[in-house]
Amino acid sequence: MIDKKVLDRIFEILPKTSLFGGISEEEIEYFAMLMEEVRYKEGDVIFSEGEPPGDSYLILDGKVDFLMLGEKLGTVKDGKLFGVVAPLGIQKQLSTAIAKTDITLAVIPKMALLKISEERQELFGKIMFNIARDLARNLILVKKILMEHMEWCKID
């Protein structure tokens, strides 16, 4: 059972995430009840690049570093979701997530979406739409980066 203080923090953060755009307070409450609290110490590995897909996470407090091929990609802080795409695509983790500070996470178990799809189809549809929208935005960003790189590499 998740403690009230953590649940309050989840309710504060979730509505501000793109994953929960257009989702009612009651639906957020249902979703939050599926989450679990976990804590990591600074330097702990949350997941590693190449591992099978696992859970998704909401940072309640602290910072997480992401690395790919041993190179630091960036840092995210409280209020951010991560690990959402790997379980959906049944793809190995693309990066390594390491606790930059002591952190508190709300874990979204990988089986939570299956439960939602069975019990709350409308909520499931909204979440899938929001994930698809975020993926489309990410593809546009990747295209922009690739185009800039191609321009930089262009030989006259």
Condensed to tens digits (0 to 9), the pLDDT of residues 54-93 reads 899 999 999 999 999 988 989 999 889 898 877 777 778 8
Q: Quote the pLDDT of residue 146.
A: 78
How would you classify the pairing of strands 63-68 and 36-40? Answer: unpaired
**Higher-confidence residue: 140 or 43?**
43
> CA angle, 102 as apex, 96 and 107 as ends, to 5°?
60
Per-domain residue ranges for the chain?
Answer: 4-153
Instruction: Give Cα separations from 23 to 6, 15, 18, 82 (angstroms).
Output: 20, 8, 10, 19
> Which amino acid is located at 7 in the chain?
L
> CA angle, 42 as apex, 84 and 86 as ends, to 5°?
15
Q: Is the dihedral of CA 35, 46, 17, 128 positive or negative?
A: negative
Condensed to tens digits (0 to 9), the pLDDT of residues 117-151 reads 999 999 999 999 998 888 888 888 778 877 877 77
Strand order across the 63-68 sheet: 45-47, 96-99, 63-68, 71-77
According to CATH, the topology of domain 4-153 is Jelly Rolls (2.60.120)
